[in-house]
Amino acid sequence: MFNFGVVTNWINDMLLSVMPQWAATLIECIVIGVILLLLYALLALFYILYERKLCAWFQCRLGPMRVGPWGLLQVFADMFKILIKEIIPLKNTDKFLFGLAPYLVIASSVIMFACLPWGYGLQIIDYNIGILFILAVSSCGVIGILLAGWSSNNKYTLIGAMRSGAQMVSYELSLGLAILTIIVLAGTMNINDLVWAQEDGWFLFKGHVPAFIAFVIYLIAATAETNRGPFDLPEAEHELIAGYHTEYSGIHYGFFYLAEYLNLFVVSGIATLMFLGGWMPLHVPGWEGFNAIMDYIPSVVWFLGKAFFISFVIIWFKWTFPRVRIDQMLAFEWKYLMPFALFNLVLMAVFVALGWHF
């Protein structure tokens, strides 16, 4: 499998040969930042079209078809429309916090996005506690949501923000416990080490029953964390208009929209890293010819393919199950999901201690 680190190291050596260390580092940071923001925007546009087409497929429709071939340019038309829309100033709002909130949400999303390794040698941030860092940064997004609801001086936005805060804080526990279950199996929180530990088999298959249970818990909790159906109560249109971003317009509203879709990719990417081997190809012990063919597929393709599959499952949830009530959502987390996740964590610890995993 091709190591993209060869290319990045060659670029770094070339820059160091013609300029000092600080200048090379500055140029690399600028280039990486620009690429990161471009990928962020393009993936968000892809996910908007991806969900609209999947929704249409589930409902026996065609989806957007008018702008471009098969409607592929519809999302670009929507993007240009929202960019040129006026940002409407509101009276009786906390203007500083009202303007700060969407930037907090988008910053949290971008930092998590930067932590994902897209392929062999393609990673921007690599900490020895990488998974813990991602969980910590993800918790900052709810601050922007709470600020958006409170600073808007609107009862509907405040209710939506409070719902979102309660939901995200609650389901973060089950999400963290599901991830911790896999960390117990792997024995590391370093993202690259987690991927390499799955070289001879993905954790979903190596971890026996507790890993599969953790995978199901993660999917449910991640759906709630991203405020997606059937857990989209913070944006319940028939109750709260548009939820915590009702009063936003123009690019500020677009930031919330982008962050929501990129958070879907981020949670799908984390699931890929924790359960499906990240960018690691599918290997079957003893099938050397099959494994060699799988190695020819670029690692980036493996990672994106797995992440898009997880996203498909989460989107499937939204367009299949009806929206639950707020009391049902919180009762499900505190009475059932979190206790079961705790029991599963203990079960994984027992399996690892006794060597019952594959």
Phi/psi at 122 (nearest 5 deg)? Answer: -115, 85
pLDDT digits (tens, 9 = 90+) for 45-88: 899 889 889 888 888 888 888 888 888 888 888 888 888 888 88
Residue-wise pLDDT for 118-150, tens only, equals: 888 888 877 788 888 888 888 888 888 888 888
How would residue 216 be classed by pLDDT, with cut points 50, 70 and 90? very high
CB atoms under 10 Å from CB of 99, counted, come to: 15
The yes-or-no verdict on residue 239 having pLDDT over 60 is no
Q: Which of 170, 103, 173, 171 is nearest to 140 (CA)?
A: 103
The answer, yes or no, to whether residue 356 has pLDDT greater than 90, is no
The count of C-alpha atoms lying within 13 angstroms of the C-alpha of 295, restricted to the half-sphere facing its C-beta, is 13
Does the residue 76 lie in any domain?
no
- Tell me the sheet residues that pair with 119: 122
> Based on the structure, what is the number of domains in the chain?
1
**Which residue bears the tokens 């705790």?**
342
Distance CA 222, CA 218 (A): 6
Q: What is the mean pLDDT of residues 337-345?
A: 92
Tell me the one-letter amino acid at 35.
I
Residue 322 has pLDDT above 90, yes or no: no
Q: Tell me, yes or no, whether 269 lies in a domain.
A: yes
At residue 65's C-alpha, the angle toward residues 63 and 66, to 5°, is: 140
Would you say residue 82 lies in a domain? no
- 152-209 per-position pLDDT tens digit: 888 878 887 888 788 888 888 899 999 999 999 988 888 888 888 888 888 888 878 8
The residue type at 136: A
In a domain, 12, yes or no: no
Q: Which tokens sit at 13?
A: 């050596």
The per-residue pLDDT of the chain, averaged, comes to: 85
Q: Token pair for residue 132?
A: 């813990």
Report the percentage of the chain scoring pLDDT > 90.
15
Q: Is residue 279 part of a domain?
A: yes
Rounded distance, CA 230 to CA 314, Å? 10
pLDDT of residue 289: 82
- The answer to the question of residue 75 being in a domain is no
> Which of 17, 58, 26, 90 lies closest to 312, judged by CA?
58
Q: How far is CA 334 from CA 39, 104, 171, in A?
A: 37, 28, 9
Measured between its terminal Cα atoms, the distance across the chain in Å is 24
Answer yes or no: is 193 within a domain: yes
Give the domain extent around 269.
87-354
On whether residue 327 sits in a domain, the answer given is yes
Q: Are 313 and 268 in contact (CB under 8 A)?
A: no
